[in-house]
A and B are shown apart, each in its own frame.
Chain A
Amino acid sequence: MSALPRRIIKETQRLMQEPVPGISAVPDESNARYFHVIVTGPEDSPFEGGLFKLELFLPEDYPMSAPKVRFITKIYHPNIDRLGRICLDILKDKWSPALQIRTVLLSIQALLSAPNPDDPLANDVAELWKVNEVEAIRNAKEWTRKYAMEN
């Protein structure tokens, strides 16, 4: 394996020294580019009380390309599909090397507080979110209880 860029070492150190409230990101023991992430569901969202596992991978040309991030815990959200892939502009065409692991995870947490059914990735979820928000939120709470609250 090639030497780890200084930037990745620095970001990892800073994540450990000044963790982001409600977010934990720990590098894998055997691969320093692969992070085990846990995001807590934001207050006043249907995901409140849930602990959501994600995986984050820094590609070879990071920070010139965005980290690859995916939810592992099932989540009922219009911008996250059943495979856990996330529709978030900064992970695609709005990526900038000034962004960091920290800012990416904060943006994902913010996406949980502000679902955007007009820019869907999970079509059925987005449709319900638009036509019957009450039921959609009920589903999201149920999925949170079922999949994100195991002990």
Chain B
Amino acid sequence: MGNCLKGSSTDDLSPLRNAETTSETTTSEQPWIPYREVNPGGPIFYPSPGISCSVNQLSEEDQVKIAKKLGFIQHLPTGTYDGCKKNRECVICMIEFIVGDPVRYLPCLHIYHKKCIDAWLMRSFTCPSCMEPVDAALLTSYETK
């Protein structure tokens, strides 16, 4: 909990008030979201939580940050789904794993579709299921200058 007063601008309400209209106005510039099948427009990046912009709006500093994140994510092991009964469904897209699906393993041993977890890791280095930091040691080596 916390930070509610700081973040309590009227912005919080606008998505609700405009609920009917936003879906129409944003169709022309949809962000790149891998868990969605439709994929028009260019990639959108998230330099900080809640801030989205396309690549030409990014500062040099943000570009470096994103490159570091991408580099970090590439260090996490990947594989293909082997039919393990313990994990049946990717909790991010809620679609059942099919043998052969590309998956990524987090250090806490939770697995997700590669494209689903990569989109989340660009926003936060935590496991969606257990909220464990993905790898504090690796993270530090990438975050420090």
List A residues at the B interface (Cβ < 8 Å). Answer: 1-3, 5-7, 10-11, 28, 30-31, 33-34, 55, 57, 59-61, 63-65, 68, 70, 79, 81, 83, 85, 87-89, 92-94, 96-98, 116, 119-121
Contact = CB atoms under 8 A, between A and B. Distances in A.
A85 B61 CA distance: 34
A92 B9 CA distance: 13
Contacts of A30: 20
Interface of B: 1-5, 7-8, 12-13, 15-16, 19-20, 22-24, 26-27, 30-31, 33, 35-38, 49-50, 52, 91-95, 116, 119-120, 123, 126, 128-129, 131
Contact of B33 (A34, A64, A81, A121): A64
A119 B6 CA distance: 12
Contacts of A6: 93-95
Residue among B12, B49, B123 facing the most chain A CB atoms (10 A cut-off)? B12
Contacts, number: 101
Nearest to B21: A31
B92 A121 contact: no
A31 B19 contact: yes
Contacts of A70: 12-13, 16
